[in-house]
Structure 1
Amino acid sequence: MRCVDLFAGCGGLSLGFQRAGFDVVAAYDNWIPALEIYKKNFSHPIYNLDLMNGSKAIAAIASHHPDLIMGGPPCQDFSSAGKRDLSLGRASLTYDFANIVCAIKPKWFVMENVEQIKKSQILKAITDQFFSHHYGLSSVILNAAYCGVPQARTRLFLIGHFQDKHNQVNSILKARLSKEPMTVRDYLGDSLGIEFYYRHPRNYNRRGIFSIDEPSPTIRGVNRPIPQGYKLNSCDPKGISLNVIRPLTTLERSYIQTFPKFFKFEGTKTSLEQMIGNAVPVALARYVAEGIKIYMTQGTVHQSAPKSMVSDREEPFSLPTKPLHREFRLTDTQSYLQPRLFG
């Protein structure tokens, strides 16, 4: 399938879908540092275009005749790590993504965002828009640690298939989750040369020291050194010395995001940390792409489903509300979440 990646950043979604066998033919973003990194790592073009310019964006993207449009609209206005201020304008890019998809009508679309978007009216608004344009929807919140990524990162994926029933891909994604979360050691072995590392907490009531024998906490867009005078928290692992603890390097953080070691990252540390933190983990993107591929070839296919199948909602689509799996509390030795699927 011909794919176009919107809000592509440095290319996590693109690389994951490529590795699953999809043909990514073009990408779009308008942040210069990310555009430069993307160009160094992909042979297809990436275009500098503000996707808020609706008519121009729709005409440009439609010229590639995509079978699938994917993207992760900027999530800072929803994220627990951001300001959670919908008035800042970035949240409106989610509407722009929906407008582009509904104008072009590709067979498939995939939208990635933070879990917190489910608390906003924006998610309901765009799902209603997709309903009205005859997309069957699957909505799932995945913990990357159960999808081949050594990181406890939960993200919402909204997957649409034109003129299909709802909730068709969910069971495939659920069935393929690993039974145990992937740890940093599982993925990188002893190549980091450390047993513990520092990740700056949002406040000092939280732990800041993590073991490579657990999934990494979510990679964020900032990477701070250990502050002078930092004292171990009661929830940090016991019996360690801060003298041998360091934060992960920029490149090590890209490995936790499952970018391959040959992926070229060049630029300022600030820009690289931000684009790596904002990226969709490559292995998580591949996991979703392979789920779609399995459905296309082996699933209960409703390729010729009539439009009334969607508009009448004979098989209602469920927005994320309650997890199917119990959520674990964070402890010293268990800093990850169980898989969480919805719909």
Structure 2
Amino acid sequence: MHKPPTFIDLFAGCGGLSLGFLNAGWKGIFAIEKNADAFITLKHNLIESQNYNYEWPNWLPKSNHDINDFLVTYASQLKSLKGKIDLIAGGPPCQGFSPAGKRDPNDPRNRLAEKYIEVVSIIKPKLLLIENVKGFNSSFLKSDKHANNLPYSHHVKSRLESLGYSVEFQILKSSDFGVPQLRPRFILIATLLEADLAQDNFELLLASRQIFLKKKGLPSKRSISVREAIADLEIEGQDLTDSTDSPISGYKQLNYLSNSAATSSFIRLMRKDCSKGYIPNSMRLPKHTPAIKTRFSKILSECRKGYSLSTEDRKRYGTRKHSLTPLDSSKPSATITTLPDDILHYSEPRILTVREIARIQSFPDWFSFLGPYTTGGKKRKTDCPRYTQVGNAVPPLLAEAIATYLLHCVKGKIECKIMKTS
């Protein structure tokens, strides 16, 4: 019986990328994540789960780890893994590259990609995967006249090539892989030259896309709309109950069991592995003041759906929000961020619940999010509440599609499989 290929997840967040790889049939070795809240969520769902194949080494505590400390503390153990791991995956923190941020080339978070490369240089796996915002492949300055203004992706490519890897990267739309959200992502795939694996990875990955979606029971010739993702979580005319996992009393949530009609293939997929009577967590509804509800109602009735409010509109409605987008129910969602009030529900005057944005990110309903719902003040720099965990995550369906392709790639079966099913 063939052993499943192995992977390590760096900058793992709450586990979106790991979930995709585990669902595709890979075996996880360990995951490194600095934030305690995000790691607890990953640990609860994937590491301590009986349903997944995470083979954690005895020498590494099952807790959150800073990548810098990890490299120093476990240097000898990492060296012992050289040539024994099939893939290292990771999504280094992206705030320094994101168009939504300041795009500062000197942002210290940019250097965390170097730590990923350092781990790669020690272990030398057959395959590499890096996921990031599309700004990872954009210049920091408007002018491209100087060599030092090349996109950071080119620097990473050069560093990996010097370590003996063939490197390809491309911007992929998450909505092309069953995620009900546009969410363009920078994806880098690198193969160790001496491993003699398939090249033209993106051509083969895109060719395998329809096969993947068909197996998931999802349409392959159109995108999933946001209504197809969360219609069963609408609250108008539905029973509300007290929130089951809110540390603060007075919050309500939808009666999940009373509104269980699976109205789309995507909703059926998200509810698929929930046991009878199971109620997902993180369904707490926001509490808006009457004035906020009135403002949101006006925005929903007067503004273009699916587009961020213009400067004029923000002034007209008295909001200082830099970005506020009312969703268009017939289209994929705008990109989910870490800020819960960046997006309005398409038909109800409220922001989305954590469970709704988790759906839009393609997390299944059985996946629980732990830690506080939101945070503020000085804690913003250290805490990673549920909304942030979900907003930072790699969409599990996108991760699974890539991982499924890479599984066949490492087994040498991808070209044959595509020919047989195309």
Q: Equivalent residue of 2:169, what SS?
A: strand
Match of 1:100 in 2: 119
Matched-pair identity in %: 33
Match of 1:129 in 2: 159
Does residue 15 (structure 1) correspond to residue 130 (structure 2)? The answer is no
Match of 1:283 in 2: 397
In the alignment, the residues of structure 1 paired with residue 342 and residue 163 of structure 2 have an alpha-carbon distance, to the nearest angstrom, of: 48
Provide the TM-score with structure 2 as the length reference. 0.62
TM-superposed CA distance for 1:88, in Å, is 2.6
Match of 1:172 in 2: 204
TM-superposed CA distance for 1:115, in Å, is 0.8
Q: Equivalent residue of 1:251, what SS?
A: helix
Does residue 295 (structure 1) correspond to residue 409 (structure 2)? The answer is yes
Change (3 A) 1:202 1:35: farther
Q: Equivalent residue of 1:217, what SS?
A: coil
TM-superposed CA distance for 1:191, in Å, is 3.9
TM-superposed CA distance for 1:63, in Å, is 4.9
> Any residues of structure 2 matched to 1:1-343 within 5 Å, and which?
1-43=5-47, 44=54, 45=56, 46-53=62-69, 54-56=71-73, 58-63=75-80, 65-120=84-139, 121=150, 122-163=152-193, 164=196, 167-175=199-207, 176=209, 178-193=220-235, 201=308, 204=311, 208-224=325-341, 244-270=348-374, 271-296=385-410, 297-299=412-414
Larger Rg: 2
In the alignment, the residues of structure 1 paired with residue 197 and residue 407 of structure 2 have an alpha-carbon distance, to the nearest angstrom, of: 17
In the alignment, the residues of structure 1 paired with residue 161 and residue 343 of structure 2 have an alpha-carbon distance, to the nearest angstrom, of: 48
Change (3 A) 1:76 1:225: closer
In the alignment, the residues of structure 2 paired with residue 77 and residue 283 of structure 1 have an alpha-carbon distance, to the nearest angstrom, of: 25
Q: Equivalent residue of 1:224, what SS?
A: helix
In the alignment, the residues of structure 1 paired with residue 363 and residue 176 of structure 2 have an alpha-carbon distance, to the nearest angstrom, of: 17
Q: Equivalent residue of 1:87, what SS?
A: coil
Q: Deviations over 1:9-66 (max 9, x none)?
A: 1000000000000001210111111111111112245442221344446545455542
CA contact (8 A) 1:199 1:247 kept: no
The residue identity in structure 2 corresponding to 1:169 is N
Q: Equivalent residue of 1:151, what SS?
A: coil
CA contact (8 A) 1:145 1:153 kept: yes
Change (3 A) 1:68 1:202: farther
Q: Deviations over 1:80-116 (max 9, x none)?
A: 1222123230000011111211221011111111111
Change (3 A) 1:246 1:95: same
Change (3 A) 1:72 1:115: same
In the alignment, the residues of structure 1 paired with residue 391 and residue 199 of structure 2 have an alpha-carbon distance, to the nearest angstrom, of: 29
CA contact (8 A) 2:325 2:342 kept: no
CA contact (8 A) 1:225 1:246 kept: no
Higher helix share: 2
The RMSD of aligned alpha carbons is: 2.9
Q: Equivalent residue of 1:269, what SS?
A: coil
Q: Which structure 1 residue ranges, 5 or more long, are not aligned?
A: 228-235, 302-343
Q: Deviations over 1:256-304 (max 9, x none)?
A: 1111111111221121111110000000100111121233332469xxx
Q: Deviations over 1:151-200 (max 9, x none)?
A: 01000111111114785211122222633222123344544357x98999
Change (3 A) 1:267 1:154: same
Aligned length: 287
Q: Equivalent residue of 1:78, what SS?
A: coil
In the alignment, the residues of structure 2 paired with residue 147 and residue 294 of structure 1 have an alpha-carbon distance, to the nearest angstrom, of: 17
CA contact (8 A) 2:198 2:409 kept: no
TM-superposed CA distance for 1:207, in Å, is 6.7
Provide the TM-score with structure 1 as the length reference. 0.75
Match of 1:323 in 2: none
In the alignment, the residues of structure 1 paired with residue 202 and residue 74 of structure 2 have an alpha-carbon distance, to the nearest angstrom, of: 30
In the alignment, the residues of structure 2 paired with residue 55 and residue 202 of structure 1 have an alpha-carbon distance, to the nearest angstrom, of: 47
